[in-house]
Chains A and B, each alone.
Chain A
């Protein structure tokens, strides 16, 4: 009898240790980030996010250009990706047969698995020249009067970065949305069809309306993914810490400035400012993920 007690206890102990280690990594993460960003936090406090100057020579650091770049590219990516991702998800749940669903499922997982640096590579050598030669000037011919499309198109700008990001977040939004749509009971669909609805009307009433909250959660997760994306963005955004209304301007994001300048931050304040940016990036990403989880919990509760 005692033998059984011991071995089970030991086993549970080992399991608990593993869990503790996993948990401590997160704690350590916050500790290290806070420790290294402390200097910048003390020096700049919250003004950090309103200041537009990023000047390593005079040691004045303001993160607004990066916040702007991150928000602009991520939201634009979401706007581009959302209708497409949701449509694909609808296709998978409402139109596709089993084989097609499986086949498209593979395509989506592969798209999700392509490393960021390869997206960047294709972005530099395929998308940027296309932008510069054809798409940019094309857009300018029609919409050039708008402030969003002013200026020469060099190919490495907010617009290119947003398009690359939109491709990268599509699998995330699609896969979650597909699951949500699949979960809608058949009866609900049949009810609206029986009342004479067209397929689009059936989808609008029975599927989209009921899964609205979940889809928003999926979009939030996609947004979170876009905000933290580093390599592909760094390679196509131009790396200029400025703020411009034109989508054809080069810019920088919170993640790209860290990637570009971290190993070269020559002073303690410089490095600390980059850690401060990292801390903020982390908090924003977590906030989005948390909101997404809360929405999903709400969804489950109201079922």
Chain B
């Protein structure tokens, strides 16, 4: 019996080595859940285009992307929270931020009475007060005033947020800091903060799951997760007083408003943008790579992929509700990609 087991194990090992003896390079990345729907589509399609390489991406949150690229246990990281000056100094090598797309963080909610009706309207004040724990019920005066056409239920608001290190959290708390001095002083912004209230979900997936399964809840996720799971999401009043729905156009408007001051390393926040059409809670997402690649083969394939992502890959953005990058930005980024040495 022991012999049979030993032989079976040997057979599996040998067989699998034979199967995998083809020269396919595996490139590992980890990080943000924000762009995960887009990235997983990219890696799936790219594997068909370039059969010599597979990209294995683990969606563990931007915090994880940053941690693992610093530890060099992955070939690239992904984050929606750009590195601070301090973090850049701590990295073992020069890290480049490659923006890949821009997305929207939407406020998803699960109110059975509102299903199929007009989307909920929320002002910055309402959003910050809900997450500060100051507005506790759905039929609070502030919310009801903004939504006169519906009768909001007399139920407690179940708040959902991230339990892991998240770039989506970074974008959302960045926005909250901009629109609420109290939030800025009490909580601050980051990939992981000391939340005053809320149930914790792991990844965008986890938060979407909580809201989907919990009546009278509210959460923040990247728009793709809301749409793919048929979750209602709110319209937000922007800086200039306009109620803007999160769409590719409104994300692009936010990008264009803030991209006027785009720094050379692309580390810019685009929340709370001005203008008639800008959606307030938008954000870029970046891929983090070392400028000097350790492995020439992987480096070369990684660079090829990045170029594809910034050009042909952008055509997959719209159907997944991400905003493709504007052309002049793409040109700049392609030049940055050229500086990667392998």
In the complex they form, whether A and B have CB atoms below 8 Å apart is answered with yes
Residues of A whose CB lies within 8 Å of any CB of B are 53-58, 128-129, 132, 152, 154-156, 238-240, 250, 252, 260-261, 263-266, 271
Contact for B67 among A54, A129, A155, A265, CB less than 8 A: A265
Q: Can you sample 26 A-B contacts with CB below 8 Å?
A: A53-B194, A56-B63, A56-B193, A57-B188, A57-B189, A57-B190, A57-B192, A57-B194, A58-B188, A58-B194, A129-B213, A155-B214, A239-B163, A239-B199, A250-B199, A260-B163, A260-B202, A263-B68, A264-B62, A264-B164, A265-B63, A266-B67, A266-B70, A266-B87, A266-B191, A266-B192
B213 to chain A, nearest CB (A): 7
Q: A66 → chain B, closest Cβ, in Å?
A: 13
| Cβ–Cβ contact A238 & B194, under 8 A | no
- Per a CB cutoff under 8 Å, which of B64, B87, B199 touches A154? B199
CA distance A156 to B61 in the complex (A): 21
The answer to whether B63 and A264 touch across the interface, beta carbons within 8 angstroms, is yes
Interface residue tally for chain B (C-beta within 8 Å): 33
Chain A positions within 8 Å of B164 at CB level = 260-261, 264
Name B residues whose Cβ lies closer than 8 Å to a Cβ of A.
30, 60-64, 66-68, 70, 87, 156, 158, 163-165, 188-195, 198-202, 210, 213-214, 217
A239 touches B201 (CB 8 A): yes
User: Which 3 A-B pairs rank lowest in CB-CB distance, beginning with the nearest?
Assistant: A264-B63, A239-B200, A264-B165
Query: Measured between C-beta atoms, what is the minimum distance from B42 to chain A in Å?
Result: 22
When chains A and B are docked, how far (Å) is the Cα of A263 from the Cα of B62? 10
In the bound complex, how far is the Cα of B164 from the Cα of A265, in angstroms? 9
Known interface pairs A156-B210, A261-B164, A261-B165. Does A266 touch B66 (Cβ–Cβ under 8 Å)? yes
B138 to chain A, nearest CB (A): 12
Q: Which residues of A contact B163 (CB under 8 A)?
A: 239-240, 260-261
Residue of A nearest to B157 (CB): A152
Within the complex, the shortest CB–CB distance from B64 to chain A, in Å, comes to 4
Tell me which of B64, B156, B217 contacts A264 (CB under 8 A). Answer: B64
Give the residues in chain A near B217, CB-CB below 8 Å. 154
Given contacts A155-B214, A260-B202, A264-B192, 18 further A-B contacts (CB under 8 A): A56-B63, A56-B190, A58-B188, A132-B214, A152-B156, A152-B158, A154-B214, A156-B210, A239-B202, A260-B164, A261-B163, A263-B60, A264-B60, A264-B62, A264-B64, A265-B63, A265-B67, A265-B165
Partner of B192, one of A56, A128, A154: A56
In the complex the two chains form, is B198's CB within 8 Å of A56's CB? no
Give the nearest-CB partner of B192 in chain A: A56
